Amino acid sequence: MKPTILLGTAQIPNDGGELRLTQRDDVFNIQLVGVHGELMSSRMSSSEVALSELGCAHLQGVENAKVLVGGLGMGFTLAAALKATSSSSQVVVAELVPEVVEWNKGALGECAGRPLDDQRTEVYLGDVAELFMSRQATFDAILLDVDNGPEAFTHDDNSELYSMASLQAIREMLHPNGVLAVWSAWHDPRFTKRLKKAGFSTSFKTVRAHKGKGSKHTIYLAKKS
C-alpha cells in the first residue's frame, strides 16, 4: 500500500483549527485536525458538482451572469459553476484560508481541472460573509459550501452565516430570480423554514456523494422571488 504523504498544513483564521492536505496515490484529502473523518476527499465530488448544477440551472444561456462560490476546497464547485455558465460569466470564489488557494495552484488543482486558471474566475481571499455587507444586488447565484452545512459547523464563525440576519443580507445580494444554493451533509427542515422566513421560495434535493453512491447530502435551493 502506498504511504500517505503530508503536503501541507494551514491555520484557519480566528483559532479555527488546523487543516491538513495529504495525498495517497492519486487521492487528495483535506482534514480538520481533531475532527473525525475528512473535510474533503478528491474521490468524492458529485454533490459538490451538483451544488453548481442545481444552483446555476437558471443561468443556462444567460450572458454576463455573476456567480459567487463560498469555499474553494478542492475546486469542484467552482469548476462546475464555470461549466454551467456562459463564456461571458464571472465567478467569484471566496476562500478563508490562503493556503487552500495556494494548494489549488499546485498539484491539488488538477483534481477539478485547474478552475483557478480560468479567466472568468476571481478569487476573494477572506470570509465570504464580508461580501454580504454591501447588501447590493450583485449576483445571479450564490453557492455556499463552507462547512458541513447549516446544522453542523467545523468552524464556529460559520454559524452566523446561516442566521436569519445573514440570510436576509444574502437575499439582498441576489438579483431578482437569483438563487442561493447551500450544500449540507444533512437535511434539516428547520433550515428550510428559516429560508422561507428570510423571504425565499425554497426546495431541496438529495444527492449522493459519489456517482449515485455513498452518503446522501442535501442541496437547499432558495429563490429570490
Ligand X SMILES: C[S@@+](CC[C@H](N)C(=O)[O-])C[C@H]1O[C@@H](n2cnc3c(N)ncnc32)[C@H](O)[C@@H]1O
Q: Kindly tell me which of 63 and 156 has the beta carbon lying closer to ligand X.
A: 156
Position 40 contacts ligand X (CB under 6 A): yes
**Residue number closest to ligand X, CB atom:** 73
Of the ranges 57-65, 69-77, 173-181, 190-198, which one interacts with ligand X (CB under 6 A)?
Answer: 69-77
- Cα 217 versus chain centre, distance: 13
CB 41 within 8 A of CB 108: no
Closest distance to ligand X from the beta carbon of 176 (Å): 25
One character per residue 71-100, x = contact with ligand X (rule: CB under 6 A): xxxxxxx----------------xxxx--x
Q: Of 87, 102, 76, 91, give the one whose Cα is nearest residue 19.
A: 102
Position 158 contacts ligand X (CB under 6 A): yes
- Other Cβ atoms less than 10 A from the Cβ of 137: the count is 14
Beta-sheet strand order (sheet of 139-144): 121-125, 90-95, 66-70, 139-144, 174-184, 213-224, 200-210
Angle between helices 164-173 and 189-197 (to 10 degrees): 60
- Cα 88 versus chain centre, distance: 21
Closest distance to ligand X from the beta carbon of 225 (Å): 26
3-state secondary structure 37-67: CCCEECCCCHHHHHHHHHHCHHHCCCCCCEE
Tell which one of 28, 92, 127, 221 touches ligand X (CB under 6 A): 127
Position 128 contacts ligand X (CB under 6 A): yes
Closest distance to ligand X from the beta carbon of 1 (Å): 26
Q: Kindly tell me which of 18 and 25 has the beta carbon lying closer to ligand X.
A: 18
Residues in the chain: 225
Tell which one of 8, 20, 27, 39 touches ligand X (CB under 6 A): 39
Closest distance to ligand X from the beta carbon of 137 (Å): 21
Spatial distance between the Cα atoms of 159 and 162, rounded to a whole number of angstroms: 6
Closest distance to ligand X from the beta carbon of 86 (Å): 21
Position 53 contacts ligand X (CB under 6 A): no
Closest distance to ligand X from the beta carbon of 201 (Å): 24
Q: Of 47, 85, 39, give the one whose Cα is nearest residue 64.
A: 85
Position 222 contacts ligand X (CB under 6 A): no
C-alpha cell of residue 213: 453512491
**Bridge partners (DSSP) listed for residue 67:** 91, 141
Residues near ligand X, by CB under 6 A: 39-40, 48, 70-77, 94-97, 100, 127-129, 145-147, 155, 158
